[in-house]
Amino acid sequence: MTKKVLIVDDEQDIVETIKFMLETENYECYCAYDGEQGLNKAREIIPDLIILDVMMPVMNGYKVSRLLKFDTRYKDIPILMLTARSQEKDKQLGEETGANEYITKPFDINFVMERVKSYLG
């Protein structure tokens, strides 16, 4: 069965590139362009993995992550957090909110793919 990945980022171009790479590896991709949209989509489709940006309109990634991770229905979904904020305290904040990985921008798309594969096989 194909694995479902949700990509949440307000930068359309970033979503497009990740989506393209994931689709070449036969993952089923869903996209959202702000935090709230992302949260709703995650609850709706229950993906196997979420790639989540931090700085986004309406609701930031930390909040999305926290809301999902504190909900028993979704807490097992691995979250890869993407962010342009590279300071140690930001990373800590990401881990505290339950993100499984914290990847800083600019990132290597191949590295992201590796990480996705390590969770989904």
Q: Cα 7–89–117 angle (5° rounding)?
A: 35
Please identify which residue in 22, 38, 50, 62 interacts with another protein, judged by CB under 8 A.
62
Amino acid at 38: G
List the structure tokens of 114: 């590796």
Please identify which residue in 3, 28, 55, 66 interacts with another protein, judged by CB under 8 A.
55
Does 108 sit near another protein (CB under 8 A)?
Answer: no
Question: Cβ(52)–Cβ(38) under 8 Å?
Answer: yes
Burial 88-103 (b: 16+ CB within 10 A, else e): eebbebbeebbbbbbb
Does 56 sit near another protein (CB under 8 A)?
Answer: yes
Q: Find the part of the chain contacting another protein (CB under 8 A) among 42-50, 58-66, 67-75, 107-115.
A: 58-66
Helix, strand, or coil (residue 60): coil
Closest approach of another protein to the CB of residue 44, in Å: 20
Q: Which is nearer to another protein, 16 or 71 (CB)?
A: 16
Task: Identify the CA nearest to 118 among candidates 69, 66, 78.
Answer: 78
Q: Find the part of the chain contacting another protein (CB under 8 A) among 1-9, 56-64, 70-78, 112-120.
A: 56-64
Note the residues at the interface with another protein (CB under 8 A). Answer: 10-11, 13, 16-17, 20, 35, 54-60, 62
